Chains A and B, each alone.
Chain A
Amino acid sequence: MKKYFLGIDLGSTTSKAIIIDENDHIIGRGITNTRANYTVATEIARLEATYNARFTLLKMKLQDEIESRPDYKRYIRDVESVFQYLQFKRRLDRLSVEFRDTITTTFSGEKRDAISGYVDGIVSRIGPSVLDEFLTGQLGSKNQFFRDIVSERYNKEIAGLGKDFFEPMMLVYDKSITKVENELTEYDFRELVDHSMALLNDKYAGLGESSSEESGLAFDSELNLLKGNYKRIYDSLKGHIGFVAGLDIHITDMVGTGYGRALLPFPEKSIRSEILCHAFGAHAVFPDTRTVLDIGGQDTKAIQVDSHGLVTSFYMNDRCAAGCGRYLGYIADEFNISLNELGPLAIEATKEVNICSTCTVFAAAEIRELLNVGQKRSDILAGLHRAIVMRAMSLLARSGGVRNEFTFTGGVARNQAVLKYVSDLVIQNYGKDIKINVHTDSIFMGALGGAMFARRNVIN
């Protein structure tokens, strides 16, 4: 039986899970932002990583077909997208029930009926629009959380409502979302994949008969091929999917890391510090890395590693939010936009407004002042992004500077504006010869390091 290893990174903001095989290859990724408790978070992330692993194993198994046939590749990609959508949809249905409960217990009479009407309308519109985004916009690959996806759309929907309804609608949302987020929902992989394929087949069958907008699929050459072939692909895939669905993804060993690690019911050898895990993960992906910068939700770490991926020194900011991811979360709240919109808006800036506050909380007051004197939102945001990076640069300098290759990890590495300033400032301070690495899996580096330690625990 093949051996797999699990790394769990229980961060302060999100919990991540990575499954690797015996060659340290990542085969499954899972992430959740639940704040329920670390046991639930671990399970959610682990289950998600397991589903993801089944798709990876499927793709590995069918590598030849995928490489030679674009329609085959497209079909599998679409199955995975619909699979993710169906998970989303179940949670949305669950949220809808929660909405109704909240409305019934909080409001009465005409107000209750009106609010119910609004909420039902919103829920019925969110479902199809999200399916569309999963299929055409690759929403699943963006690692967005259920809360982010729903709240972005919910907020847009209620923005137009008058004062009488805006507040109650927010209340309904806030009261209901956390419960759903903190709930562990287990899905039957086989059942969900079958359902996904059935939905897809309907879509493909309808291709050409209706406009592409209605089908939720953009019409292109791959789809053109699929239109005629989907039945054959489906028939040949069914067996393979049955096989991966039935596979026992046996976790031989696991290692937990991150702030919540002490709460995991793991033995001592299976608990590792996130400093070591981040460094080990980043070093595994980029073996020439000597300096790692990790900007997470509630801390920033500058880590120096040697050629084995061993940490030689580290420096942490665990005292001040103004250098961490939460700073951006707070700023997003201040601007009333989602976290994902921050980076793109800041990138549009024509200049960077100088932000003087060294404190997250006081920065908000400064932002208001700057808006009052007519500074543009994007320029202020650019300044804020630069400010957070400046703090990280100071930490890096204190840890001994940047040596050779530099790898940027953590959730914040996904923010394009932060990435831009990190790159600019690293080059400015340490020369243009420094190679800067950022991986699409940057947020998973800690969990990857954990999984790699788990594999080595077994060897040793």
Chain B
Amino acid sequence: MSKDVAKERSMIIQKEMIANHFMELSTAKETGKKVVYTFVPGNISELILSFGMLPVYPEINALQSGMRKKSGDYIRDAEQHGHSEDVCTYVKCDVGMMINGNIGPTGEKIPNPDLLLLSYTGCFTFLKWFETLERLYPGVPVALLHTPYQEAHKITPEMTAYMVKQLKEEVIPKMEQVSGNKYDEEKLKAALRNSSKVEQHIINIFDTTKHRPSPIDAYFAGVYYIGPINSGFRGTPQAVDYYAELYKEIRERIENKLGPITPEGVMEEERFRLVVEGPPNWTHFREFWKLFYDMGAVIVASSYTKVGGVYDMGFRVNPDKPLESLAEYCMNCYTNLNLQQRVDLLSKCITDYHADGFLVNSIKSCNSFSAGQLMIMQQLEKKLEIPIGFIESDLVDPRYFSYSNIKNRLESFFQMLEQRKMIIKTA
């Protein structure tokens, strides 16, 4: 692989945004800013920011460590601390990073948490993760925001009321206490107005894959596109600017009939269009992407890019009902949907974006994604008669990425798609 990585303009902007965020974090103790650790699914960053506090997302740090080839050592250290082989590797990577001085992806130290905001959204491990952090940072306050699962395919008014009550009685008082600032609803509303604009941009951006060739890759590049809203910029004017620029850039590509930009260059020929379910592998991210690039496979939609919020089914924040909006946003996250809703969502993606195949990357570490994937596959195959592929890897444990096994299965999958195309053409 060459050293030169092709990059979009918006990626450079994003890099600066993120660098600034980590810079701000590294000086938080000097500037007196308080730091809140919280999770990506159901990240109510607008609320955190409205108190003038800074968010830290442990999963983001873990995946960054994975991409920078540091996760292997971190996981080893966490295992030496008693975490078993089967524990989520995001947790172990995060713990390993903390016991090694908590140095973040930019090489700057990440400050210790002043508050752990446990927004529990479809992942049981989050509870245990912050229990571990509580032990690592004795005395740190924890605010629990329990998100009810969409068991009956919908959000009821009672569910929203239950969450709003938690926000009012548990989360906001703790935030006031930690930050020393009073809850300011106008500030929150202003942030949500920004979020609302960003949501529309995101919908527009991911909807561009209906073009042929698709101007973007909605999985490998998609994870960069969802970066700002999942790493501290939800509700900020910078996020609005970033997404406006990104959308503009993508529209230019559509006009010029250009395919996605990949680290190997622009994809010249779109041979296969896929919908992918499950998170990517981070330790071999570029190799993983290249396997698809080499085969001319473009991902036209992925469930993973909806992990920090699902907007396809009509949900938008309503700035006039700020706390209700935050509650509904959390309940609408992908991993909080029940399996039938996931099938419906994926099915819509496959149909709307004319996918040739559906591929599952089953993650050893991640129950909230992997549980139910077989059922999802079988239902989609039955309902849409779409060819299904299945590969296995892990989030950030390099021991579970077998390049040759994945390549072998992907080759079979792509040949299967090609053979099908040939038959359909001649039939």
Contacts and interface: CB of A to CB of B under 8 A. Distances in A.
Nearest to A314: B412
A238 interface: no
Contact of A400 (B381, B387, B422, B423): B381
A311 interface: yes
A319 B364 CA distance: 13
Contacts of B100: none
Interface residues of A, number: 19
A398 to B, nearest CB: 6
Nearest to A318: B405
Nearest to B419: A310
Given A310-B416, A313-B377, A273 B408 contact: yes
Contacts of A190: none
A312 B381 contact: yes
B387 A276 contact: no
A286 interface: no
Given A273-B415, A275-B416, A276-B415, A313 B408 contact: no
A275 B412 contact: yes
Given A259-B408, A273-B408, A313 B387 contact: yes
B374 interface: yes
Nearest to B373: A398
A161 B244 CA distance: 84
A290 to B, nearest CB: 13
A25 interface: no
Contacts of A316: 390, 409
A273 B387 contact: no
Contacts of A272: 415
Nearest to B388: A313
Find the residue from B388, B402, B412 having the highest chain A CB count within 10 A: B412
Contact of B387 (A259, A274, A312, A460): A312
Interface of B is mostly: helix
B381 A311 contact: no
A154 interface: no
Contacts of A275: 412, 415-416
Nearest to A400: B378
B419 A315 contact: no
A418 B423 CA distance: 35
B387 A311 contact: yes
B411 A273 contact: yes
B330 to A, nearest CB: 32
Contacts of A273: 408, 411-412, 415-416
B378 A319 contact: no
B291 to A, nearest CB: 13
Nearest to A312: B387
B381 A310 contact: no
B420 interface: yes
A314 B390 CA distance: 8
Interface string A407-442: 000000000000000000000000000000000000
A256 to B, nearest CB: 13
B419 A311 contact: yes
A170 to B, nearest CB: 34
Contacts of B389: 313
A345 B242 CA distance: 70
A381 to B, nearest CB: 30
A308 interface: yes
A319 B405 contact: yes
Nearest to A316: B409
Interface string A256-299: 00010000000000001111100000000000000000000000
Contacts of A308: 423
A316 B423 CA distance: 25
A319 B374 CA distance: 18
Contacts of A276: 412, 415-416, 419
B387 A398 contact: no
Interface string B392-427: 100000000010010011011001100110110000
Contacts of A312: 381, 385, 387-388, 416
Contacts of B415: 272-273, 275-276
Given A310-B420, A312-B381, A313-B388, 20 more contacts: A259-B408, A272-B415, A273-B412, A274-B412, A275-B412, A310-B419, A310-B423, A311-B387, A311-B412, A311-B419, A312-B388, A312-B416, A313-B390, A315-B390, A316-B390, A318-B409, A319-B402, A319-B405, A400-B381, A460-B422
10 A-B pairs with least C-beta separation? A273-B412, A275-B412, A313-B388, A311-B416, A273-B415, A318-B405, A273-B411, A276-B415, A400-B378, A398-B374
